[in-house]
Structure 1
Amino acid sequence: MSRPLRLSVLDQSVACAGRGQDESIRHTVTLAEHCERLGYQRFWLSEHHSLPSIVGTAPEVLMAAIAARTERIRIGSAGVMLPHYAPFKVAEQFRVLDALAPGRIDLGVGRAPGTDYRTSQLLNPDPRAAERFPQQVRELQAWVSGEPLPEGHAGHGIQAYPRAETAPQVWMLGSSGYGAQLAGHFGLPYSFAHFITDGEGCAEALELYRHTFQPGVLARPQANVCVWALAADTEEEAWRLFASRERARVDRQTGRFGPLLPPEEAVRAYAPAEEAFRQQMRGRAMVGSAEQVVQKLQALAEALAIDEIVVITWTWDPQAQRRSYELLAQAAALQPA
């Protein structure tokens, strides 16, 4: 690779058994400060609704809190589920965020609902909202960048304020070829949700993105992948901590959602199909000592021809999560702030 591996963070404000959900939100802000000190490139926040396991519902609000308590790290949404909202309002929100943290705001957008059908209808009752996603992205980019919309468009002459010398950077998020093609068409940076698909389709989506890329917002393709990873002081400890995430992932396969359990309470007997899925997941998991995990991340980055990986980590104990990011930063030789 031409450049060293850069690491970033995605946090979802995961609900944890035995603690209030409000604590999860505050832990996210504290984690952002910690990761800035460690030298991470970005700190991204997800959007989910009515999901008992993830309580990060409003990334734009959390971003404002983090902007007030950090100075260098880029802050972003991963992402805003655009079909739920009016692009003009999203542009205004993120222009305000850019005013609070000039040149540090990433506006990641996605088409997926981030919730179930009923909740999605409450956010936007239009059942065909997702069909207008490409048009929404075009409008959003125009309002974010200050580029005029064409005559005849309902938004022609309408400006999203506040204006400044800097502007949020729009990212396209995805876990399939659809987002990859759209990012290529608009010339946007692209992020693949490797942690959602366990890597399936990742290489193909990145290749499609590069093949369809047309200079637009960017002159050249820019991509990263979001990967689930966990490091601890020993490999044994890392696998012990992984039990919480493992249980949540297996339960999700059968539609069971709930707060993250402590490792000792997460172990249960699995049905044959569940055990097969569990073993498959363990075989691909990036879990172990910091050196082991960073080696896997570097190998993945080289295979995908990228130089940035966004790491997402779930642990029941917030201290273990912070320690994981600390160990990875040290092993990857990130430059502390």
Structure 2
Amino acid sequence: MSTSIPLNVLDLASRPAGGTNADAVAGTIRLAQAAEALGYQRFWVAEHHGMPAIASSAPAVLIAGVAAATERIRVGSGGVMLPNHAPLVVAEQFGTLRALYGDRIDLGIGRAPGTDGATAMALRRSPEGLGVDDFPQQLLDLFGFFYGMTDANPLHSITAVPGRGDAPQIWLLGSSGFSAQVAAALGLPFAFAHHFAGDNTEAALDLYRSRFEPSDLLSEPHTMIAVNVVSDEDPETVRALSLPGQLSFLRMRRGLKPEPVSIEEALAHEFTPLEEEFIATRNARQAIGTPDEVKARLDSLLASMRADELMISSGAATVEGRIHSLEIAAGLHAAREPVVGA
């Protein structure tokens, strides 16, 4: 890995145990300001719905708040789940953000619902909207609202204001080969959600690179991976900060929508052998540990995946823990020697 690889942040506006949604949003603002001070280049917020522990349900609104509280860092979505929204609305929202904050706005686009089926139905308002077959056409409509449509598109007479001529930097997000192929076909930069889908990353990135078609937006493939980073000099602190997120993830895999898990609850929980094995397997492809352990893991991941940018999604249970993880990653990045073959 070259020391010049851009470092970025993905945040979910996590609500602390016993805290409020206002606390969650305030934590996101603090994290963004810390990331900017540390030299990170992008700060993205995710889209999730109906999850008590996560307050990032309205990315465009949260982006406006983050951009207003920072000065230089690029701010964007990681991502907007396009099937949940009319492309015209997304174009107007991000056109407005661009009018407010200029060329600091990124639009990362995904196709997953970011929620359960019933909530997705409430967002999309019809069973027909629950499929993904029309996702490529939704993308083309969105691009049309930003850049102009052909006469063959039934929506060509509609103008997005703001929107037309106000395009942000657009990325396609994904955790599968399908998204990799769509990004390649449209000539878009591709960000892979390795932080929660770490088994297929190399294959998806290779597929994207092999099928990439140059576009007016991008002449050659450009990739980013998101990695879960929780770090501290004390191994016991790492365990305390990372366990609440691991327990929440286990509960969500069982179809639950858990309230925020406190450090005390997570440390007292008796994990079964299968749960312990699942956590260990999942963590093996992330960067959770002391600074030396995180450095080794990030070097290995980036050498294997050959990503052009790294996005850190810290699963630490506290804002202070997330900020310290960013501090450690930034320090490692500044001191890192190039990885042979990267």
- 1:211 counterpart SS class: helix
Report the Cα offset of residue 324 of structure 1. 1.3
Report the Cα offset of residue 104 of structure 1. 1.2
Report the Cα offset of residue 64 of structure 1. 0.6
Kindly indicate whether the alpha-carbon contact (under 8 Å) linking 1:244 and 1:266 is maintained by their aligned counterparts in 2. Answer: yes
- 1:311 counterpart SS class: strand
In the other structure, the counterpart of 1:219 is 219
Cα deviations by residue, 1:300-325 (Å, 9 ceiling, x for unpaired): 11211113111111223211211111
Give the TM-score, by structure 1 length. Answer: 0.92
Cα deviations by residue, 1:97-147 (Å, 9 ceiling, x for unpaired): 111221111111111111111111111123232321100111112222x2x
C-alpha distance 270-186 of structure 1, shift in aligned 2 (>3 A): same
- Hey, what's the Cα distance between the residues in 2 that align with 1:273 and 1:262? 22
Kindly indicate whether the alpha-carbon contact (under 8 Å) linking 2:17 and 2:260 is maintained by their aligned counterparts in 1. Answer: yes
Which stretch of the first structure deviates more once superposed, 229-238 or 94-103?
229-238
- Hey, what's the Cα distance between the residues in 1 that align with 2:225 and 2:35? 18
Kindly indicate whether the alpha-carbon contact (under 8 Å) linking 1:59 and 1:80 is maintained by their aligned counterparts in 2. Answer: yes
Measured on the aligned residues, the alpha-carbon RMSD in Å equals 1.9
Stretches (4+) displaced over 4 A: 163-166
Cα deviations by residue, 1:168-226 (Å, 9 ceiling, x for unpaired): 011111000010000000000100000121x1111010011111110112111111011
In the other structure, the counterpart of 2:291 is 290
In the other structure, the counterpart of 1:137 is 139
Cα deviations by residue, 1:34-58 (Å, 9 ceiling, x for unpaired): 1111100100000011112222100
- Consecutive unaligned residues of structure 2, counting only runs of 5 or more, are 336-342
Q: Within the alignment, does 1:162 sit opposite 2:179 as a pair?
A: no
Report the Cα offset of residue 2 of structure 1. 5.5
Give the TM-score, by structure 2 length. Answer: 0.91
Kindly indicate whether the alpha-carbon contact (under 8 Å) linking 1:230 and 1:242 is maintained by their aligned counterparts in 2. Answer: yes
- 2:65 counterpart SS class: helix
Kindly indicate whether the alpha-carbon contact (under 8 Å) linking 1:134 and 1:182 is maintained by their aligned counterparts in 2. Answer: yes
- Hey, what's the Cα distance between the residues in 1 that align with 2:24 and 2:42? 19
- Hey, what's the Cα distance between the residues in 2 that align with 1:285 and 1:221? 24
- Hey, what's the Cα distance between the residues in 2 that align with 1:260 and 1:14? 8
Paired residue type of 1:137:
L
C-alpha distance 65-81 of structure 1, shift in aligned 2 (>3 A): same
Which stretch of the first structure deviates more once superposed, 223-232 or 254-263?
254-263
C-alpha distance 111-163 of structure 1, shift in aligned 2 (>3 A): closer
Kindly indicate whether the alpha-carbon contact (under 8 Å) linking 1:297 and 1:309 is maintained by their aligned counterparts in 2. Answer: no
- Hey, what's the Cα distance between the residues in 2 that align with 1:117 and 1:165? 35
- Hey, what's the Cα distance between the residues in 1 that align with 2:166 and 2:3? 26
- Hey, what's the Cα distance between the residues in 2 that align with 1:330 and 1:118? 43
Report the Cα offset of residue 279 of structure 1. 3.0
- 1:131 counterpart SS class: coil
- 1:44 counterpart SS class: strand
Q: Within the alignment, does 1:20 sit opposite 2:20 as a pair?
A: yes
- Hey, what's the Cα distance between the residues in 1 that align with 2:281 and 2:206? 25
Cα deviations by residue, 1:236-290 (Å, 9 ceiling, x for unpaired): 3212321212222222232233233232221311234323213323444411223
Report the Cα offset of residue 96 of structure 1. 0.8
Paired residue type of 2:314:
T
- Consecutive unaligned residues of structure 1, counting only runs of 5 or more, are none
Identity over the aligned pairs, expressed in percent? 38
C-alpha distance 319-187 of structure 1, shift in aligned 2 (>3 A): same
Kindly indicate whether the alpha-carbon contact (under 8 Å) linking 1:141 and 1:170 is maintained by their aligned counterparts in 2. Answer: no
Cα deviations by residue, 1:60-91 (Å, 9 ceiling, x for unpaired): 00111111121211111111111111101101
- Hey, what's the Cα distance between the residues in 1 that align with 2:187 and 2:109? 14
Report the Cα offset of residue 298 of structure 1. 2.4
C-alpha distance 283-152 of structure 1, shift in aligned 2 (>3 A): closer
- Hey, what's the Cα distance between the residues in 2 that align with 1:281 and 1:178? 22
- Hey, what's the Cα distance between the residues in 1 that align with 2:260 and 2:334? 30
Kindly indicate whether the alpha-carbon contact (under 8 Å) linking 2:3 and 2:333 is maintained by their aligned counterparts in 1. Answer: no
Kindly indicate whether the alpha-carbon contact (under 8 Å) linking 2:52 and 2:260 is maintained by their aligned counterparts in 1. Answer: no
Alignment of 1:58-69 (within 5 A): 58-69=58-69
In the other structure, the counterpart of 1:306 is 307
Paired residue type of 1:125:
R
- 1:63 counterpart SS class: helix
Question: What is the total number of aligned residue pairs between the two structures?
Answer: 331
Kindly indicate whether the alpha-carbon contact (under 8 Å) linking 2:81 and 2:109 is maintained by their aligned counterparts in 1. Answer: yes
In the other structure, the counterpart of 1:210 is 209
Kindly indicate whether the alpha-carbon contact (under 8 Å) linking 1:38 and 1:326 is maintained by their aligned counterparts in 2. Answer: yes
In the other structure, the counterpart of 1:261 is 261
- Hey, what's the Cα distance between the residues in 1 that align with 2:136 and 2:11? 26
